[in-house]
Amino acid sequence: MNRFAGKVAFVTGGAGGIGRAVVERLVAEGARVAVTDIVGEAAREVAAAHGNQAVGFALDIADEAAVKAAVDGTIEAFGQLDVLVNNAALTDMATMMADTDAVTIPNDVWDRTMHVNATGYLFCCRHAIPHIAQAGGGAIVNLASGSGMLGDSARIAYGASKAAVISMTRYMATQHGAQKIRCNAIAPGPIVTPHSRKVAGREFDIIARHMPMGELGEPADIAALVAFLGSAESRYINGQVIVIDGGMSAHHAHVMDMMDYAAGQKG
């Protein structure tokens, strides 16, 4: 497939996990890609692997001046911008461990999480949208999360920030649709990446028991959906949140336990 021939994409958090899979998928489909990551060297390494089809930039999306510089650098390198993929998020171990509940979460953890995961997406959209409009329209794909749609025993800031991303997605779809800019969000369930495996550990094995398909998703699964939503094939999809979790959210949490119990009773 060559759905992105002549198109330019800007991907945040593009050096690893889901972001890297997105970069590889878009390049494979003909896009030229700006690979951005808070670890600049890693972003440049990923870009270098794709020759003149990619450029790499160091980018902390919480720094608006840096966002503008990276977008401007993309225009300088490729002359246009058609697709924005907001993927970067604050997921380091220290922050995740401190992201607890409303009573105990430190204020600085709440503020930093919201600033990166929500305001950072706003900054990227703010500086990308004029260029996408100038190109005649295009697509924004925001990586939200199932955590932004359901409650959990911890990670209140992460969940709230992803709920904000979902709301922003709908607002931007409404406010910029007339410019032929579509904005959609993807809400992944548990996805196995080197980083998430390190953070979750054995928890993933427990979660897999509750998946109707009996397995967790991989970055390539998300990348395939990003490519679809970023392409002209999804031209009439706008302002939507698409859950990609293998069916985890399709049933009550206890259902798989009850099925196991019933199977044991029959045995």
Residue linked to tokens 């002549």: 6
Domain range list for the chain:
7-265
Q: Which residues contact 9 (CB under 8 A, 6 or more apart)?
A: 26, 31, 32, 33, 34, 81, 82, 83, 84, 85, 230
The mean pLDDT value of the chain amounts to 94
The CATH number, out of the four listed (3.30.450.20, 3.40.190.10, 3.60.9.10, 3.40.50.720), of the domain defined by the range 7-265: 3.40.50.720
Per-residue pLDDT, averaged over 75-85, amounts to: 99
Residue linked to tokens 């700006």: 34
For residue 267, pLDDT over 60 is answered with no
Instruction: Label residue 137 exposed, middle or buried (CB < 10 Å: 0-12, 13-18, 19+).
Output: middle
* Phi and psi angles of residue 90, each rounded to the nearest 5 degrees, phi first: -85, 105
Helix 219-230 with 17-28: angle, nearest 10 deg = 50
**Do the Cβ atoms of 19 and 88 come closer than 8 Å?**
yes
pTM: 0.93
Q: How far is CA 51 from the centre of its chain?
A: 24
**Do the Cβ atoms of 190 and 196 come closer than 8 Å?**
yes
Q: Which of 121, 158, 236, 261 does the annotation list as catalytic?
A: 158
Residue of higher predicted confidence among 215 and 21? 21
Position 208 scores a pLDDT of 76
261 labelled catalytic: no
Position 206 scores a pLDDT of 76
Q: From CA 43, how far away is CA 98, in angstroms rounded?
A: 27
Position 213 scores a pLDDT of 84
pLDDT tens-digit map of 142-197: 999 999 999 999 999 999 999 999 999 999 999 999 999 999 999 999 888 876 66
Position 138 scores a pLDDT of 99
CB atoms within 10 A of CB 252: 8
Query: What does DSSP say about strands 8-11 and 32-37: parallel, antiparallel, or unpaired?
Result: parallel
Lowest-pLDDT range of 52-61, 107-116, 208-217, 240-249: 208-217
pLDDT tens-digit map of 197-240: 666 667 777 777 778 888 889 999 999 999 999 999 999 999 99
Give the C-alpha distances (Å, rounded to integers) separating 59 from 34, 70, 127, 253.
11, 7, 14, 38
**Do the Cβ atoms of 253 and 196 come closer than 8 Å?**
no
pLDDT tens-digit map of 245-261: 999 888 877 666 766 76
| Ramachandran bin of 32, using left for φ above 0, alpha for ψ from -120 to 50, beta for the remaining angles | beta
